[in-house]
Amino acid sequence: MNREKKLKYLRVALCVFGVVFMAGIPAMMQIWPSGWGLSPAQPEYEQVLMAMYITLGAFLLYAAKNPMNHKSLIWFTVVSSLVHGGVTLVQAIIDEAEHANIFGDIPAFFVVAFVLWTLMPKNLGPKKSH
C-alpha cells in the first residue's frame, strides 16, 4: 500500500477510534460491565478510565487532521493499547472474575494497536519521486 493511501486509512482509523474511545468505551462499560469494566465494580476508578479514554479519543480525532504531526500520540496509543490489553489479559487468566474481558476489551485494545501499527508509515523520510 502506498504512503498516501496508508495516510488516508490512518486518518479514517483515527476518527473511528477517536469516536469509539469517546463514546464506545464508556457505553460498553455500562452495557457489558463484565467484559469492559472491573469486577467487582469500582465506579470511581472506572470514571477515571472513562475520562482518560474520552480525552485520548478527542486527541485522536484532532490528530486525524494531520497524523504525521501527531506521531508520538499515535505511537502512544499503539503501545498503551498493547500494554492495557496485555495487563488485562494476564489479569483475566489469573482471576476468574475477569474472564469475560477475554471477549470484551482485551481484543478491542489489541485491534486498535494492530490497526494503527499497520497504518503508521514506517518510512518517515522524504517522499520518493519516480
Which of 14-18, 26-30, 71-75 is predicted with the least confidence, judged by mean pLDDT? 26-30
Q: How confident is the model at residue 35 (pLDDT cuts 50, 70, 90)?
A: confident
Output the pLDDT for position 123. Answer: 65
The residue ranges of every structural domain in the chain are: 3-119
Summarize pLDDT for 81-99 with one digit per residue, the tens: 999 999 999 999 999 888 8
Please, what sign has the CA dihedral across residues 15, 45, 80, 89?
negative
Query: Alpha carbon of 57 to those of 34, 40, 43, 45, 51: distances in Å?
Result: 22, 26, 20, 18, 10
Residue, of 38 and 100, whose pLDDT is higher: 100
The whole-model pTM stands at 0.86
Computed over every residue of the chain, the mean pLDDT equals 90
